[in-house]
Copies of this chain bind each other. A is one copy, B any other.
Amino acid sequence: MGIEIERKFLVAGDFRTGRSVPFRQGYLSRDPERTVRVRIAGDRAWLTIKSLTNDTTRQEFEYEVPVSDAEEMLALCDGPLIEKYRWFVDYEGMLWEVDEFLGDNAGLIVAEIELTAEDQPFEKPPWLGDEVTGDRRYHNSSLVKMPFKSWPQ
């Protein structure tokens, strides 16, 4: 188990550097109190349970599973799958994970940074846009039922 502390931002410039990995994921539970996610990332796969503690902090349990199991579990998931590229971008000694969504969420790009404390300071990269930490619309589990293309502009 771990406690996950992260802040989430929109992206307002060209962030593309570093490597990217294709992600495909779905949810066995989309209940915010206990989401259960199946994710295939490149050639590995994970089952992840998260609880909603508060806007910045979540309890998280993650277990690697065989990709063949994950493929079959994705078929059991509730709703369409989320597909995206995850970019791993270093900036001033911190790792940013930038998700470039595909399919019904194309056009949405979200950057996350994982912190060790809620008030930990960090340098903002020049491509960073508005903060959306705690905005549930940007949860991947919400994007299943309310994809970005359905949002009022």
Contact = CB atoms under 8 A, between A and B. Distances in A.
Interface of A: 1, 28-29, 31, 33-34, 36, 47, 49, 51, 59, 61, 63, 65, 68-69, 72-73, 76-78
B65 A61 contact: yes
A104 B68 CA distance: 38
Contact of A65 (B51, B63, B77, B78): B63
Q: How many copies of this chain are found per oligomer?
A: 2
A76 B59 CA distance: 10
A126 to B, nearest CB: 39
A49 B61 contact: no
Contacts of A65: 61, 63
A38 to B, nearest CB: 9
Contacts of A72: 1, 59, 61
A36 B26 CA distance: 14
B63 A76 contact: no
Contacts of A36: 28-29, 36
Given A29-B36, A34-B78, 6 more contacts: A1-B68, A28-B34, A29-B29, A33-B78, A47-B47, A61-B72
A31 B28 CA distance: 9
A51 B51 CA distance: 22
Contact of A73 (B28, B49, B68): B49
